[in-house]
Amino acid sequence: MSLPEFLAAHKREVLTLSGEHLWLVGVSMLLAVAIGVPLGIALSRRPALRSLILGANNIMQTIPSLALFGLLLPVPWIGARADRLAILALTLYALLPVVRNTYTGIAGVDAPVREAAVAMGLTPRQLLWQVELPLASNVIVAGIRTATVITVGVATIAAAIGAGGLGEFIFRGLAMVDNNVILAGAIPAALMALCADFVLGAIQRSLVRRPLRIHH
């Protein structure tokens, strides 16, 4: 059976597994952004924590996916369900680019710009929301873009612990030594990553062209 024939015969399953894959990636990225952006902001305020936090995230990136799943299994509530376990692991993998780029973007705002904003009477909160985050948004979205593409790929490993997703086809194809089954999982995952990269890239480019507006 050729790949197009296989995809046509298993269309419903492809759509179901693609939906599971998208859900795993989407929830993981929402959590990574919700945790990573505030953490990056905190690092910009307390540079002494930079080595500790970024170092811990770097170490996390070196742990193989399957090994991380195994390490997280004993965690109460999380280890009880495969989808929770997969989402936690994917969130941890996605944190580094988000935290690092948020910190880098805010730290990269020119000192004269900050000084001018303070001279205009902006409070620290206004400085963050009206000056630093808008100017750093391009770099922050670049980190989210990188993390999303990585997460789409790593999410295929989630099938190894029964969390679903397009990795189901990949592992099934490996067991059957069938390239068409492997490609049935790999191609939709690759298309998903390309679509995410394109959309986030468009958002990133639009942020570069957006003018800075300061209200006080």
In this predicted model, what pLDDT tens digit does every residue of 108-141 receive, in sequence order? 988 888 888 888 888 888 899 889 999 999 999 9
Residues of the chain with pLDDT under 70: 1, 79-80, 209-216
pLDDT at 114: 87
pLDDT at 49: 82
Give the CA count within 13 Å in the CB-facing half-sphere of 42: 13
User: Model pTM?
Assistant: 0.89
| Other C-beta atoms lying within 10 Å of the C-beta of residue 94 | 27
Map residue 117 onto helix, strand or coil. helix
- State the Cα–Cα distance between residues 189 and 165, nearest whole angstrom: 9
pLDDT at 149: 95
Map residue 128 onto helix, strand or coil. helix
- Sorted by where each starts, the structural domains of the chain and their CATH numbers stand as 3-209 (1.10.3720.10)
pLDDT at 214: 62
Exposed/middle/buried for residue 177 (C-beta within 10 Å: 0-12, 13-18, 19+): exposed
pLDDT at 80: 64
Report which of 208, 205, 188, 215 is spatially closest to residue 10, judged by C-alpha positions.
188
Is residue 212 within 8 A of residue 134, CB to CB? The reply is yes
pLDDT at 139: 94
pLDDT at 210: 65
Is residue 99 within 8 A of residue 34, CB to CB? The reply is no
